[in-house]
């Protein structure tokens, strides 16, 4: 059997651990040939691929990024994109695909399965916003990086008695903000799910200053003020219709400075949250996902995604996994609110 492998969407620590697990188990247990397609869905559309042997996956377990490259290519937006994929798979004798990605890449995987291509999905995203899995790999690493940044920013904020606004990733879901904010002892956490009142944020900030502490405000890039709109980096949309967010932290820091008369600075963590080596948790989760994806392909269980439920890896239908995003629920946000101000 020849099995193709690709990584799509934003990169994420742990992608190489999945690739390694698929190649090791695919070749050694199943006797497969494994083929790596480059740059997400661009690879199977253009035929850009290379065989992946045991040598290619030595020393990649702890490496960030993806040895296959990634892109946000959407074959359903390209002229004849799906036919091109079918032709490439037939020409290269590929029997099945393993697609490692987030909501967009797996949304394509689901549609391709409906269109007759055998695909198994593996969930990745630092945002942790994929429904049907308790956690995606990459999230734990991002939270660690953001928490370490908050810890570091706290000491400089205290020294200068400034407010520090830390902007973290999270387009539609505030999981990174929630977890890093809780772990870092933030005084306010703002998430896309809950439009915030600037007046209330300023009240919490002032309360903190009165108690002689420098406030730390953690804000997800997709958070927005009540009655306002998301702050965009550019209005341009990618192939999946997403605009590039970024800037709410700087905007909020200016508002705080203006309304309190205190110094306020913003730090945008950006891609530092996605780069570099994965945590041990993410390496283990990614490895287990890779091993179970091989089982799913070997069983011919296409149209499924491997998922974490408790401590077990299970299979769910891609249709279920991509039907809606997993956002921060009210009760989880309420836990964090106890520490605001």
Any idea which residues carry the catalytic annotation? 127
Residue nearest to ligand F6P (CB): 169
CB 37 within 8 A of CB 4: yes
Strand partners, 314: 307
Q: Tell the smallest beta-carbon distance from residue 146 to ligand F6P (Å).
A: 12
Place of tokens 């408790």: 310
Closer to ligand F6P at the Cβ: 236 or 330?
236
Give whichever of 120 and 169 is closer to ligand F6P, judged by the CB atom: 169
Tokens 């009655």 sit on residue: 227
Judged by beta carbon, residue 239 or residue 257, the one nearer ligand F6P is: 239
Shortest gap between Cβ of 142 and ligand F6P (angstroms)?
Answer: 8
Between CA 230 and CA 221 the distance in angstroms is: 8
For residue 310, the minimal CB distance to ligand F6P (Å) is 25
Residues 6+ apart with CB under 8 A from 148: none
Six-digit token string for 36: 């790596």
Looking at the chain, how many residues does it have?
341
Q: Extract the tokens encoding 11.
A: 């990169």
Q: Rounded to an integer, what is the distance from CA 216 to the centroid of its chain?
A: 24
Token duo for residue 269: 């963590």
Count other Cβ atoms within 10 Å, centred on residue 230.
17
d(CA 208, CA 185): 12
- The angle that helices 248-260 and 198-210 make with each other, rounded to 10 degrees, is 60
DSSP string, 68-81: T------GGGSTTH
When the beta carbons of 173 and 205 are compared against ligand F6P, the nearer one is 173
Rounded Cα distance between 273 and 144, Å, is 9
Please identify, using beta-carbon distances, which residue of 47 and 270 lies nearer to ligand F6P: 270
Q: Which residues, 6+ apart, have CB-to-CB distance to 123 below 8 Å?
A: 101, 102, 106, 130, 132, 133, 136, 137, 289, 305, 306, 307, 321
| Contacts with ligand F6P, residue ranges (CB under 6 A) | 10, 102, 125-127, 169-171, 221, 244-245, 274
For ligand F6P, the closer of residues 167 and 221 by Cβ is: 221
The alpha carbons of the chain give a radius of gyration, in whole angstroms, of 21
Q: H or E element: which one contains 106?
A: helix 103-114
User: Does residue 131 come out as left (phi exceeding 0), alpha (psi in the -120 to 50 range) or beta?
Assistant: beta
Nearer to ligand F6P by C-beta: 102 or 215?
Answer: 102
């Amino acid at each position: 059997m020849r099995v193709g492998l690709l990584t799509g969407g934003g990169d994420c620590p742990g992608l190489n651990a999945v690739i390694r697990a698929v190649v090791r188990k695919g070749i050694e247990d199943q006797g497969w040939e494994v083929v790596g397609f480059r740059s997400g869905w661009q690879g199977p559309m253009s035929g850009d691929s290379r065989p992946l042997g045991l040598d290619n996956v030595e020393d990649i377990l702890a490496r960030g990024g993806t040895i296959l490259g990634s892109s946000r290519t959407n074959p359903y937006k390209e002229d004849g994109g799906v036919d091109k994929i079918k032709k490439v798979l037939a020409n290269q004798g590929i029997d099945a695909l393993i697609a490692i990605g987030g909501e967009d890449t797996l949304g394509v995987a689901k549609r391709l399965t409906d269109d007759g291509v055998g695909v198994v999905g593996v969930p990745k995203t630092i945002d942790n916003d994929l429904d049907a899995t308790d956690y995606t790999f990459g999230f734990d690493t991002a939270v660690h990086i953001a928490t370490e940044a908050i810890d570091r920013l706290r000491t400089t904020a205290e020294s200068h008695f400034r407010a520090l606004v830390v902007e973290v990733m999270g387009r539609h879901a505030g999981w990174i903000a929630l977890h890093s904010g809780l772990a870092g002892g933030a005084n306010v956490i703002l998430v896309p799910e809950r439009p915030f009142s600037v007046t209330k944020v300023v009240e919490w900030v002032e309360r903190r200053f009165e108690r002689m502490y420098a406030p730390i405000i953690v804000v997800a890039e997709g958070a927005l003020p009540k009655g306002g709109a998301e702050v965009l980096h550019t209005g341009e949309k990618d192939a999946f219709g997403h605009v590039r967010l970024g800037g709410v932290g700087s905007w909020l820091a200016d508002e705080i400075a203006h309304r309190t008369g205190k110094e306020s600075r913003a730090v945008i963590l950006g891609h530092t949250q996605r780069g570099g080596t994965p945590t041990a948790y993410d390496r283990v989760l990614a490895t287990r996902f890779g091993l179970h994806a091989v089982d799913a392909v070997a069983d011919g269980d296409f149209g499924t995604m491997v998922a974490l439920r408790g401590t077990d890896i299970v299979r769910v239908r891609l249709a279920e996994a991509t039907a809606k995003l997993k956002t921060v629920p009210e009760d989880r946000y309420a836990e964090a609110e106890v520490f605001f101000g």
